[in-house]
Amino acid sequence: MTTIVVVKKDGHCAIAADSQSTFGDTRLAAMDDARWNKIFQYDDNYFAICGSAAHDLVLQSALKKIKKLDFSNRAAIFESFRKLHRKLKDDFFLKTDEEDDDAYESSQMTVLIVNRYGIFGVYSLREVYEFERFWASGSGRDYAIGAMHAVYSQLSASEIAKVGVETGCMFDVASSLPMTLYSVEMKA
């Protein structure tokens, strides 16, 4: 799976991710993957996705097809992903089935977003969370969250994100280094 983290501190936001892809019991390490960066930029936003490897190219393509998407706050992100969900179904043949008792169709992905407005998470039923300090997704998330909690008061946003991904990679068999890290200055 993966370890992806987002951090907000002292007017800066950071996003970082490991580089390993996994196909069942087989791993694809960065040295053999020509496109191992799990983070991509769309306008002034950085996105990283947990779930099927197909989501990366699909979401990048879908973002280009819809005009006027807004990722500046929780409500705007929800509306943007509501538009994206329709596009994912109609143009990319998204299978929306998850659990029989789910209240809504699934978008089948977890997305972490960093921009000058903050750090956000979007989950499969388009639930949107805005995080105050840090968060993580993927199979290494529990290790990353614990590590980031332990060092939050001592380090910068980028340094905290680095510790989170490094710790996820240390203990999660489905995550490995190198990592990619981006940071942005928040809007005043």
pLDDT digits (tens, 9 = 90+) for 160-174: 999 999 999 999 999
CA distance 82 to 16: 25
Q: Report the greatest alpha carbon distance in the chain.
A: 47
For the stretch 42-76, pLDDT in tens is: 999 999 999 887 788 989 999 998 888 999 999 99
Cβ atoms 107, 89 nearer than 8 A = no
Residue-range domains of the chain with CATH: 1-20+28-95+103-183 (3.60.20.10)
Q: What is the mean pLDDT of residues 12-31?
A: 93
Q: Decide: residue 130, CB within 10 A, 0-12 exposed, 13-18 middle, 19+ buried.
A: middle
Handedness of CA 127, 102, 95, 140 (dihedral sign): positive
CA 130 to chain centre: 13
Q: Round the average pLDDT of the chain to a whole number and report it.
A: 92
**Whose CA is closest to 16, among 180, 184, 159?**
180
Is the distance from CB of 116 to CB of 13 less than 8 angstroms?
A: yes
Q: Which two tokens stand for residue 135?
A: 């968060």
Rounded CA-CA distance 94/106 in Å is 9
Task: Check pLDDT > 80 for residue 149.
Answer: yes
pTM exceeds 0.85 for this model: yes
